[in-house]
Copies of this chain bind each other. A is one copy, B any other.
Amino acid sequence: MKKFVYAFEEGNKEMKALLGGKGANLAEMKKIGLPVPDGFTITTEACNQYYADGEKIAPEIVNEINHHLLELEKKTGKNLGDSNDPLLVSVRSGAYISMPGMMDTVLNLGLNDASVEGLANLTGNRRFALDSYRRFIQMFGDVVLEIPKYKFDRVLEGQKNKRGFKNDTELTETDLSEIIEGYKSIVKTEKGFSFPTEPKEQLMMAIEAVFGSWNNDRARIYRRLNEIPHDLGTGVNIQSMVFGNMGDTSGTGVAFTRNPSTGENLLFGEFLINAQGEDVVAGIRTPQHIAELKSVMPDVYQQFQDVCTKLESHYKDMQDIEFTVERGKLYLLQTRTGKRTAFAAVRVAVELVEEGVISKEEALLRVLPSQLDQLLHPMFSEKALLEAKPLTKGLPASPGAASGRVYFHSEDVVKMKESGEACILVRTETSPEDIEGMVTANGILTARGGMTSHAAVVARGMGKCCVAGCSEIFVDEENKFFIINDVRYNEGDYISLDGISGTVYAGKLETVEVGLTGEFATLLEWADEVRTLGVRTNADTPRDAETAVKFGAEGIGLCRTEHMFFSDERILKVRKMILSTTLEERIEALNYLLPYQKEDFIGIFKAMAGKPVTVRLLDPPLHEFVPHKEDEMKKLAKDLEMPYEIVKHKIENLLEINPMLGHRGCRLAITYPEIYEMQVKAISEAAIHCIKTEKIEVLPEIMIPLVGHMPEFTILKTLTQKTVQEVMAAENQTFDYKIGTMIEIPRAALIADQIAEEAEFFSFGTNDLTQMTLGFSRDDAGKFMGEYMKKGIFEKDPFESIDQNGVGKLVDLGVKLGRQTNPNLKIGICGEHGGEPKSIDFCHREGLNYVSCSPYRVPIARLAAAQAAINNRK
C-alpha cells in the first residue's frame, strides 16, 4: 500500500517531489539532528488522490493521519484539546516548487474552549491565550470555512466602539471572550453549523482547505505564469507549535546565513524577544539585528551559529532560516535556499568554492545568467529609489539606469550634450536616422516597438539604457512634449529610466556604477573553462568591439556594415549612389565611400587584434537610407543637384509593400554587384593595412546575407574571391579569410546541404528566420502580441527566446544538412537570441560552434554556455 503520510523522521531533502520543499527540509533538519518541533507531512500524492477521489480524503489516508497524530501526541507528551498542556499545531502547505503566499496556512490549530485555558496556563497569559483563540477562529473561518474576513472585523470593531477603545490592545479578557462568542455565532449563521471545537475535526478540515488551495485562482495563475505543472500537488505539514512569546527567555527570528544583498559571509537577519513569528513581519515592534542576539542570549546565539554553519555545509548554499526560542530552547521552523541579489549570488557562489563547500561547476549553476545584467550597467542607488516616483512602465529593452532632460530630436540631444547636459531621447519610435542622438543620449524611451524594435536592438548593442514600447505615453515630436496619464512633460524636463524593470520615473535619480571585477571575473573565468560553445559579439564599431573584448568576446559574429553609412560625411554619397541612374555614377559614389569603409574595418580589426571578425555585407533595403519627408527630399535634391521630381520619383520607386521580404541582402548585390565589390575591397585593403602597417593578425569572415538559392551564393562568392585576389595582387600581400552566409531565410535551412558545399561557415540569423518562419513582422506584431501572450498562444516572446518547436526545427535541419555535406562547417548564431540563456542552451545542444550577442550580453552568454555544458553532460 502506498504511504501517504511521513513523520519528519522518515523524510529527507531528496523527497521534495513527494513531501514538498518545506516538508522535505523539515525532515532533513530533523535527520541531521537539528532541533525541529515534531510533526509529519501529508504527501503531494495524497493531494492528487484527494482530487482523483472527487475532492475527498480517502478513509485510508484519514487513518494514516490519525495514526501519525497519535504518534505526535506521544512524542510531544501533549494531547490535542488538552485543557492543561494542549498540543497545538500549525497546518501549512508546501509544494515541490515554492509558490510564496499562494496557498493557505492555519496556525494554533487545536484551540477550543478547553485548550485555550491550557494555553493560558502554559504562557501564564490568559489575555494572550484568548486573543490567540480569537485569531484562530478568524483564520480558520477565513481559510477553511471561506467566511469573508470583514464579517469578523465588524464584530471586533463593534466591541471596540461599544467600549470606546481605539486599539486592539485595549481589549480586556472579558472583551475577548465576548468577541469569541460573536465569532462563533458568525460561523453558525454563515455555515449553519457550530464552529468545530473537536481538534481532530479542525485538523481534517484544515487539511482539506490546504489541498483545496492548490487549485484556487491565484495559485493556478501563478503556476501558469511560472510554467509550473498543475499536477504536482501540494504537501501539508502538521507541526507542533512552539511559542516565542513565553517571556524574556523566548523569541523568534528570521536569518540568512550570509548577506543576501552583498553576499558577505556574515549572519544577516532580525529577531524579537518574547514574540511570535508574525510579530517580526507585522512591524509593530522594531526587531533587533541578529548579531545582538549574542549579548541577549549568548548560548542560543552560539547554538544558532552552529546550526547555520551546519545547514550551509549540509545544503552547500546560503540558507534562509526561521527560528523560534521557547524558554531558552532553540527550535528551527524552516530552512530554504536564500534568495539573493546578483551581487550576492556571484559572491556567495565564488566564496563557497573558495571555502571548499562546492565545486566550480556547482558555483556556475548557482547564478542565473539573466541576473548578470544588473552587474554590468549603472543602477539607481537604493536611496534614490526610496524617494522615486514611478510614472509608467514599458518594456525593459536594454538594461541600465539613466537620468536626464527630455529631448525629442537627435540634433537637440547632440546640442544639449555638448553643453554638458545628461539627456534622454524620447521618440514614438526610433529609426536609423536617430542613431547619432541614440549614441549621444544617456537613455532612450520609445512609445512603440517591442523587445527587438530598432530602439531596443541598437540600445542593447550600445549597452545603453532603453525603455521601449511604453504604450501609455503619447509623444508629440513636432511640438516637443509627451503625455503620461494626462500629465504633460516638456522638452528639458527631467525623467529617469530603469532599463531592467522598464520603469519610467519623474525627476532626476542618483545612479551608481558597477563592473566586471572580483568574484564576477572569477566566476566567468570558471565559465570559460567549462563551456564548449564560443562566445562572440555583435559589434559595428571599434568602440563596441573594445567593450565586448573587455567582456570576454572571442570574436565578432556579426558586424553590420549599414550603420557605418549614416554619418554626416557619408550619407549624402550613399544617397547619391542609391539614386544614380548609371553604373558610372554609382561607382563614383562608391569610390568616395571606399576609404571610409576601409577606416571602419581597420578600427574594428585593431580592436579585435587577430580574433575572427564576421562582416556582413550590406543588408537593408535601400529606401532605409533615403529621406521620405517632402522637405528632406527637397534638400537632398538640392544637395545632389538633381530635379526634385526625379528624386521624389526615385525614392517612391524604392518603397516596398513588404520591405522585410523585398529587395535587400544579397538581392541588392545580384542587381548592383558594385556595392559588395566596394565593401570587399574595403575589407581586403583594411586587412592588408593591419598586417603591413599595424603588424597585427586579421581574420575576416565575409558573410553574404539573405541567401535563399544556391546561385545567389555562388555568384557572390565568385565576386568576393575575385575582388580579394585583385587587392592581394595589387598590394602583393595575402591574408586568411573565409566566405560564408547567413541562414535566415527558411529555404536556406532547407537547402543547407547544398550551401555547405560552397560556404565555409553558417551564421543563423534567427531574427529574420523567426519572422519568416512564424510569418510575423516584428514591427507590426505589437497590435496582437498582447492578446497572444494573454491567451497563452506564445509561451515566450519568440523574438526574445528562440522558438525551439518551430524555428528550432529549421535550425536543427540546417545544422544536420550542413554538416552532412561539410562535417567541419563552422556554425554560429547572430540573432538577438545569441544572448538569451534558454536559446544558448539550445545552441549548445545543436552543436553550434559559437553564439554572438551584443557586447553587454557577452558575460551572460559565457555563463549560460557554461551552464549548458554542465546541464547537458548527463
Cβ–Cβ contact A793 & B659, under 8 A: no
For chain A, residues 770 to 816, give those with C-beta under 8 angstroms from any C-beta of chain B: 771-777, 779-781, 783-784, 787-788, 791-794, 803, 805-807, 809-810
> Given the interface contacts A661-B780, A715-B791, does A747 sit within 8 Å of B775 by beta carbon?
yes
Given contacts A711-B793, A793-B709, A809-B750, contact A776 B661 (CB under 8 A): yes
Chain B residues whose CB sits within 8 angstroms of the CB of A775 once the complex forms = 660-661, 706, 708, 744-747, 768, 772
Q: Give the residue of B670, B715, B783, B807 whose beta carbon is less than 8 angstroms from that of A671.
A: B783
One digit per residue, 1 when the CB lies within 8 angstroms of any chain B CB and 0 when it does not, for chain A 748-781 equals 0011000000000000000010011111110111
Task: Please report which residues of chain A, range 632-673, place their CB below 8 angstroms from some CB of chain B when the two chains form the complex.
Answer: 656-663, 667, 670-671
Cross-chain contact B657 with A780 (CB below 8 angstroms): yes
Residues of B within 8 A of A751 (CB): 805-806
A780: chain B residues at CB < 8 Å are 656-659, 661-663
Chain A residues numbered 156-206 whose CB sits less than 8 Å from any CB in chain B: none
B793 and A773 contact, CB distance less than 8 A: no
Which residues of the partner chain B approach A773 to less than 8 Å between Cβ atoms? Answer: 745-747, 750, 772
With A662-B780, A784-B663 given, is the CB distance from A747 to B774 under 8 Å?
Answer: yes
- B670 near A787 with CB under 8 A, answer yes
Instruction: From the candidates B670, B706, B793, B807, name the one contacting A712 in the complex (CB within 8 A).
Output: B793
A661, B771: Cβ atoms closer than 8 Å: yes
Query: What is the minimal beta-carbon distance from A620 to any residue of chain B, in angstroms?
Result: 13
Docked CA distance A794–B660 (Å): 20
Interface residues of A in 804-837 (CB under 8 A from B): 805-807, 809-810
Question: Are B746 and A777 interface neighbours, CB within 8 A?
Answer: no
Across-interface contacts of A744 in B (CB, < 8 A): 775
Chain A interface size band reads 35 or more
B670 touches A810 (CB 8 A): no
Complex CA gap A775/B805 in Å reads 20
Q: Is B708 touching A747 in the complex (CB atoms < 8 A)? A: no
Instruction: Quote the shortest CB–CB distance from A428 to chain B (angstroms).
Output: 12
Minimum distance in angstroms from A359 CB to a CB of chain B: 39
Q: How far is the CA of A783 from the CA of B652 in the complex (A)?
A: 13
Closest CB in chain B relative to A853 CB, distance in Å: 23
Chain B residues within 8 Å of A662, by CB? 777, 780-781, 783
Q: Which residues of B contact A776 (CB under 8 A)?
A: 661, 708
CB of A800, distance to nearest CB on chain B (Å): 16
With A656-B780, A659-B780 as known contacts, state yes or no: A774 contacts B793, CB within 8 Å.
no
Copy total for this chain: 2
Question: Shortest distance in angstroms between A224's beta carbon and chain B's nearest beta carbon?
Answer: 12
The winner among A658, A667, A776, A792 for most chain B CB atoms within 10 A is A658
Cβ distance A562 to chain B, nearest Cβ, rounded Å: 17
Taking a contact as CB atoms closer than 8 A, the residue among B656, B791, B810 that contacts A711 in the complex is: B791
Residue of B nearest to A714 (CB): B793
CA distance A666 to B783 in the complex (A): 13
A793: chain B residues within 8 A (beta carbon): 670, 709, 711-712, 715
A622 to chain B: closest residue by CB: B783
- Is B777 within 8 A of A667, CB to CB? no
Cα of A750 to Cα of B809 in the assembled complex, Å: 7
Which of B709, B746, B779 contacts A794, CB < 8 Å?
A: B709
User: Which residues A706-754 have CB closer than 8 A to chain B?
Assistant: 706, 708-709, 711-712, 715, 744-747, 750-751
Q: How far is the CB of A339 from chain B (nearest CB, A)?
A: 32
Q: Which of A364-395 contact B (CB under 8 A)?
A: none
A621 nearest CB neighbor, chain B only: B780
Q: Give A666 Cβ to nearest chain B Cβ, in Å.
A: 10
Shortest distance from the beta carbon of A75 to any chain B beta carbon, whole Å = 51
How far does the Cβ of A821 sit from chain B's closest Cβ, in whole Å?
15
Is A791 within 8 A of B670, CB to CB?
Answer: yes
A806 and B708 in contact, given A660-B658, A776-B661, A780-B657 (Cβ under 8 angstroms): yes
Contacting pair A670 B711 (CB below 8 A): no
Would A747 and B715 count as touching, CB distance under 8 A? no
Least CB distance from A625 to B in Å reads 16
- Is the CB–CB distance between B661 and A807 below 8 Å? no
What distance in Å separates the Cβ of A519 from its nearest Cβ neighbour in chain B?
42
List of B residues within 8 angstroms of A791 by Cβ? 670, 711, 715
Question: Closest chain B residue to A709 by CB distance?
Answer: B793
Select from chain B the residue with minimum beta-carbon distance to A775. Answer: B745
- Compute how far the CA of A772 lies from the CA of B779 in the bound complex, rounded to whole angstroms: 16
Interface digits, A193-235 against B, CB 8 Å rule (1 contact, 0 not)? 0000000000000000000000000000000000000000000
Nearest-neighbour CB distance to chain B for A669, whole angstroms, equals 10
Give which listed residue, B659, B667, B711, contacts A658 with CB less than 8 A: B659
Q: A706-B775, A773-B747 are in contact. Are A661 and B658 (CB under 8 A)?
A: yes
Query: What CA separation (Å) do A792 and B710 show in the bound complex?
Result: 10
Give Cα distance in the complex from A657 to B662, angstroms.
12
Give min CB distance, A328 to chain B, whole Å.
58
- Chain B residues contacting A771 (CB-CB under 8 Å) are 661
Q: A709-B774, A746-B773 are in contact. List 6 more A-B contacts (CB 8 A).
A: A657-B660, A657-B779, A659-B780, A660-B777, A670-B791, A751-B806
Can you name 17 A-B pairs with beta carbons within 8 Å?
Answer: A656-B777, A657-B779, A658-B661, A658-B779, A660-B775, A660-B777, A670-B788, A671-B787, A706-B775, A708-B774, A709-B793, A715-B791, A745-B774, A745-B775, A747-B803, A772-B773, A772-B775
Enumerate the 3 nearest inter-chain pairs by beta-carbon distance, A residue then B residue, closest first.
Answer: A658-B777, A661-B777, A747-B806
